[in-house]
Each structure stands twice: as C-alpha cells, then as structure tokens.
Structure 1
Amino acid sequence: MDPAQKAAADAMPADTGRKGRRRAKAAIDLKPDMTTDSLQLFLKDIGKVRLLTAQEEVELAKRIERGDLDAKQKMVESNLRLVVSIAKNYRNQGLPFLDLIQEGTLGLVRAAEKFDYRKGFKFSTYATWWIRQAIARALADKARTIRIPVHVVEKLNKIGRAERKLVTELGREPTPEEIAEVTGIDPEEVDSIKRSAQAPVSLEKPVGDEEESEFGQFIADEKAESPFDRAADLLTKEALKEALENLSYRERRVLELRYGLGGEHPRTLDEVGRTFNVTRERIRQIENQSLKKLQQLGEAQKLREVT
C-alpha cells in the first residue's frame, strides 16, 4: 500500500507484545488524492496544534509507558510540525512530499514509543533522529541503484543498532567515534559504510540556504547541453564518493552534513558550525571552498564514466 494512503492508524501500529493492545486511531489524515489546497489546509491545521511544555511531554511519556494509546496519539499530533519541517529537507529526492510526511510520521511514532523521559532530553531533539532515519530509509529503499555486498549490510545493520542505542542514551545523533566505540568498527569505516548505503543524489537537488542553486551546478561540465546532461539526473553513491575523496576530511564532512550526503541529513550552517565548534560564517567559507574545488577538479567526466 502506498504510504500516502495510510492514515495514522497505520502509522501507529498495534502493539505486538503480550498485552496485544488494539490499534490506535488516526493521528493524521493523508489522502492519496490530496490536492495542493487540501495539503495546505492540512499543514494549516497541524500548525494550530499547541506545542507541548516539557512537563506535558513527561506526563504523556509516562502514560505512553503504561500503554495509553491516546497519550501516544497526542504526542504524535503535537509534533507533526516537526515531521513536516524535516520532510521539506528531503524533497526532490525520489518520493512525493506526502510520502515523506507519512514516512516521517512513522519515525515520530517510533520515537514516542522509545522516548525515555527519565534522561531529561527534550522529546523533539530525540524524535528528530527517528524522523530523519525513517525518511532516509524510505528514500534509500525507493532509489538505491547499486546492490550492497552482504558483509557491508551486516556491518551497516550493526552500526544501525548501535546508533539506535546511542540515540536513546544520548538524546542526540551519535558521532562516528561514539559508534565505533560500541561496534568496534573504525570511525573512518563507520563513515564509509554509512556512505555506501546512501541513496543516489539528484543533480537537481536544491542547495544553499535559499535553495537558489542545484548540486549539479557545482560539478564541472565541459559539454553543456549534451544528451547525457539532459538524460541523466542521478549521481550514484560510488561516483559521489570518488569525487568527495579529492577533498580534505573536513571539507568532505561539511558538504555531507550541509547537503545530506553519505547517509547524513541536511543541516543548517549553524548546526554544522556547532559540530565543528566554529561560526556559521566559517562553515559557509569551507562549503564554498569545497564546492569550488569539486568544480576545478573536473570530476564531471569521471562521474559520467561511472554512471
């Protein structure tokens, strides 16, 4: 069934534990034939839902822990704006916007089920990882074009389990070093394996704070308007990896974090700045410098050959 055909009753599955609690009622109402106007009304409606206070989140989490399905629904409904906000970063990557919202809602439901209020984290901070993972996984399943070797899949699953564990413990996305400590896999290999599982990246993907440019504009093009340029709209993960290897580790990480490459999710200049403990302006400088390097390296020809 198409994700957009599911109401939140499908997004909030029945408990498979021994108590066998019934399926929760719908939290959102996404129709497959939803028009642009009705989508706008839906977005307007969820915008009217009052945000929860920290104390209300704790109280709902306690009720959810006791199996209260109404509490789970309220937690989900009160955070749907977060799903929409995150889903916007994944447009033009292979799935309709409604599908992205639906997949993100699945992640939000999972976060509501797993949230541990005792650790003192904000629910939205914790839920962000689950929402992004759900959307990224759906995009990868939809768009992946290269089969990943079995041994890599095994390590990827191990990394995924460690990530989920660490997110629960830390209340945020773990670093490659933290994942390495749990899995015993070298941090560089953790980074590489996560990149190997990424979905292809569209050359038409909007980039920059104002989305005024497309990623493909930063790849050197010696034969503009060639048949290849008109026909090809995907950049495979292996080709992208080869191009990024010409950059320093820091430059590569900035691009991965800014544009959602290598299994990452798109982040703002401020978010990346906090990761590297530098200002947003410094990140902007590194970003521009890295993109210029890609252009000057003339990687376009190599990418065409791999594609």
Structure 2
Amino acid sequence: MSNISTSTQVTTNFNSGTDNMLGRNMMRSAMKAPYLEREDEHMLALRWRDDQDSVAMHKIAVSHMRLVISIAGKFKHFKLPLGDMVQEGYVGLLEAAARFDPEREVRFSTYATWWIRASIQDYILRNWSIVRGGTSSAQKALFFNLRRLRTKLAAEDRTMTKQDIYRNISEKLGVSVSDVETMDFRFSTTDNSLSAPMIGDDENSGSKMDSLVDNHPLQDELVEDEIDGQRRSKWLHDALQILNERELQIIRYRRLNDEGATLEALGEEMGISKERVRQIEARALEKLRNCLLSVNTVDAYQV
C-alpha cells in the first residue's frame, strides 16, 4: 500500500503525548479490545487497502494492542518505562496495519510482530546511554543478542573462558572481540540514567502498568541470571587477588560492605589521611578494571 498518510497522522498524535498516562490508558484499552476472527481481519484489511477506510485500519490496530504489550514486556530488562515502549510499539503496529496486504497467506499478527519489535528496538537504541554513538547494524545485533548468546555458549560448554565466549560471539555477529568485550562490560555496569521512577497519577502507577504483562521470569532468564551471577562472582574473586593487603582492605570496607565505610573512618583506622585512602582506592579500582577487561587474564575467568 502506497498511501499511509492516515497512519502517519495517527502516529503523530500518539507521539505528541509521551507521558506514561497515555501508555497506561492504551494498555487498559487493549484489555477490552475484542479479538478478530480471520475472516473479519481479512475484510477490514480489504476495506483499508481498497477504500482507504481509516476506521477499518484502526479496528485492526486496536485488536492487536495485546500483541504490542506482550512484545514490549519482553524488553522490560532494559528498564525503560513500559508505557513509552508500548507507545513506540503502537507506532510500529500502525505502520504494519497501513502496509499489510490481505492477499498474503499470513495472519496480521505474524506480519505486525516484526514492525512492532523494530519500533521498540529503535526506541531503546535512542534512549539507552550505553549504545549512543554505536548504532550500526552490527552494533544493534550485538546489543540485542549479546546476553542470549553469552548464556547459550556458557550453558553449552561451562569450560569456556570469557575470551572464548567473546570470540565466538564476535564471529557470529561480525563484530570485533573488543566490541563484544566493551558492550559486556557496559551491561554489567549500572546505568543510573535508567533508574528514574515512572511518573504517574498515583504512587502505585508503576505497579499497575507492570501488572498488565506477565512479571514472571522465563526459564532461560532464570538460567541466565544464575550463570551471570556465578561467573561474575568468580571474576571478582580472581581479580581481587591482584590487590595488595592495603588495597584489598579499602575495597572490602568501601565497596563490598553494605554500609560502606567513609574515607575518614578508614583513614583513622589505618593511620593515614582520608585523601591517601581515596588515592589507594582509585588505584585499586583501576587495577580491578584492567584485570577484568584484560585479555592477559583470560585464564582467571574460566568458570
């Protein structure tokens, strides 16, 4: 279909209100929307293609909002507002509705899934700080497939070293080992820009939005988290061995303690100034960082 002006107009209207209230309203409406039988879907698609009937296209789109919510929910681990991702997914849904050919031997939901997912992924790439500046097709593939491939490779062969895993992923995705290494390190680092709370009309709005999708983790996500936790614990344990006694003491009291000792308190205990404590801590953290990223320490990363 060549004429998608109606889709563009509706898309603009939804983009103009980017707050979470709109996202929540869309999700509530989706729960009430009726499913379309195959014959009804075909008839509505014909009305849009042949007569540019925007009402028909709207009915197709609204009846598939559950699909948008389901797909958006699969990206929750990126910690972006669910309502915003639903809105972006709706943009993709409208594009799919405008382009759908009813003569194809495929249901609309199958066709629309690609458009919805692509729209949400583009939104994530625009808003996740760790990938800004690296949005080539290869970088996108790395961003969205790193965790899955890393888990799969580790589960298949638990003797693989960290560098073996990086090398395998780089070959599969056509990126450098350095790119894989850097992206994995960024994933393991807390991105504070993602921790802002969702804004709603009441204090429970976030949980209301989340309740519209399945919050139970998938089995592969549970396995991934377990493997990640085990591997990172061992990497940290091995890296700590390179620190001298004073550096290790400071890191343990400052970084590995729930309460986190102050520079002043540690300085008094160790008989040095708090500025000296800060310098030793900075040096120790740099050692740890270099150890965790260095290919020369790959043997220490074997799980």
TM-score interval (norm. to shorter): 0.3 to 0.5
For the pair shown, the structure with the greater C-alpha radius of gyration is 2
Query: Please, what TM-score do these two structures have when normalized by structure 1?
Result: 0.46
The higher-RCO structure (CA 8 Å, 6+ apart) is: 2
Pick the structure with more helix per residue.
2
